[in-house]
Structure 1
Amino acid sequence: MKKLYGVIGDPIGHSMSPAMHNDAFETLGINAYYHPFHIKREDLAAAVAGMKAIGVSGFNVTVPHKTAIMPLLDEVDPLAQAIGAVNTVIRSDNRYIGYNTDGEGFIRGLNEEYGKSVLDKHILIIGAGGAARAIYYTLGQQGAKRVDIANRTAEKASQLKERCPYAVETELLALIEAEEKLGDYDIIIQTTSIGMSPGVDKMPLRLANIRPDAFLSDIIYNPAQTALMKEAGLRGARVQNGLRMFAYQGALAFEKWTGVLPDPDRMEKIVQDKLGGKTC
């Protein structure tokens, strides 16, 4: 009998996870199927109970349920608890345990593209939302030395720093301050939605002071090359979009369910193909 996995969210029709995971199950010869479940906010508790009742072996969680699902689980991993969001649930002894693979997925992809560990580099994170929190806390958990945060709202950035359970040296900057100090950073991580359609020509900050040997990672992957990435590339910096992060967070979830890490290159190509083959 096939094991059942899935993803819950609202909306869910746009999700590329089923294509990635079902291909991985088939390629690796695992007798399992991954299904998208459209779950409304008001139906979340009933859905989790129902999934446990019918024996769903694990599932991903996307908007708007990443935080709301936490009290409905039997256990939440300490990192996911600190981040305040769960994107992966595994079933163990009839218990549902929540994890967050977003930060780890991002760092795996970043290290791979950068060519070595980034933990000893001077890093700037732009933004202070959920993605920034996952990346910042995971960097802290792994031992990053210096990670600064630039955000439009100072209070939100301050909360991000104060609530981090890991020791990270961090300076909080206004965006205009970050623009002036951009030459201090080896790695710049853009975590906001600025640059997505329909505002594809917008950038969260100016790059006049970026170093030509810097590395800029934008977690957006559609469009495959944001205005910020284009500008950074013109100034000599290396760039990366968010597709590798998406592939790796899915691969890490798959590994938690099955004990097998699927090929992130293959997962990335599947998403590229679904996006029309566009890459950066």
Structure 2
Amino acid sequence: MTHLNSITGHTKTVALIGTPVEHSMSPAMHTASFEYLGLDYIYLAYNVRPEELEDAVRGLKALGFAGYNVTMPHKTFVGQYLDELSPAAELMGAVNTVVIKDGKTIGHNTDGAGFMRNVQENDLDIIGKKITVVGAGGAGSAIYTQAALDGVSEIDIYNTKDTFFDRAAKHIKEISDKTGCKMRLIDLADKDSLRLSVAESVLFVNATRVGMGDLENESVLSAEDMAEGLAVADTVYDPPITKLLRDADKKGLKTLPGLGMLLWQASIGEQIWTGKEMPTDFIEEKFF
């Protein structure tokens, strides 16, 4: 059991790397879970800038960490520095969970499975239906890939037309070809297309950082474009209720805050590191 006064040379360390990480609930959440389960582990967060990523990956391995989570902006870049990728992480082109086992770093992605579990827990049926996702980066890639694998029939993905856009379009086509899901990447500047896509969808997902930090008062979708019967999900969990979700709630729409996805992806990740199931009821009651 990992109390602060019982940390020893045997205590195993798990970490979060990314920038920013100061807002993260993961250290408190995972350490509480480890304590509840009687595991001699502790979880810490480290601010790692893009130019430090390769050194951080090598350092965590050299120091004998049990594993780590990867958050923005590193999810689509960290894979090149790892020894192996799980099939899901390779297909998604993004890693959010790394286990260090037998001297090897193995990248996984629990974001997509965590998101889909959260959808299920909220009694929302999206299988065989259309969804709209804004954000083609790490979290967005995991979500639309897992959704396609699980049987969502059509997914429109919107992203700013940056240097990443063409590579993302190619990746999305590969996923579409492998899964049979109808998928397309569209310039986020095309607001008429976004409005029409949302009107045809059962679920809208924000998979960008809009809604947190200096973008806390902004939203990727205007309230006027939220169609009746739409469910609205956010991957941002700090603040717990974003402007996007507030606007949706005011219109009487079903909302899925980012904390739900955080809980379920964390549960899957913890099992990868420790082989034990996170006490999700306890964690939800304590932190949510």
- 1:181–1:208: structure 2 CA closer, same or farther, 3 Å change rule? farther
Q: CA deviation at 1:161?
A: 2.4
Identity %: 34
- 1:89–1:185: structure 2 CA closer, same or farther, 3 Å change rule? same
Correspondence for 1:167 = 180
Correspondence for 1:83 = 92
Q: Is the 8 A contact 1:179 1:208 kept in 2?
A: no
Pairing 1:1-280 to 2, within 5 Å after superposition: 1-113=10-122, 115-153=123-161, 155=165, 158-164=169-175, 165-173=178-186, 174-208=190-224, 210-272=226-288
Paired with 2:174 and 2:65, the residues of 1 have a C-alpha distance of 33
Q: CA deviation at 1:136?
A: 0.7
- 1:42–1:168: structure 2 CA closer, same or farther, 3 Å change rule? same
Q: CA deviation at 1:195?
A: 3.0
Q: TM-score, normalised by structure 2?
A: 0.81
Uncovered stretches (5+) of structure 1, i.e. residues with no partner: 273-280
Paired with 1:158 and 1:44, the residues of 2 have a C-alpha distance of 25
Q: CA deviation at 1:10?
A: 4.2
Q: TM-score, normalised by structure 1?
A: 0.83
Q: CA deviation at 1:37?
A: 3.7
Q: Is the 8 A contact 2:16 2:45 kept in 1?
A: yes
- 1:28–1:195: structure 2 CA closer, same or farther, 3 Å change rule? same
- 1:141–1:248: structure 2 CA closer, same or farther, 3 Å change rule? same
Q: CA deviation at 1:65?
A: 3.5
Q: Is the 8 A contact 1:151 1:175 kept in 2?
A: no
Uncovered stretches (5+) of structure 2, i.e. residues with no partner: 1-9
Q: CA deviation at 1:170?
A: 2.3
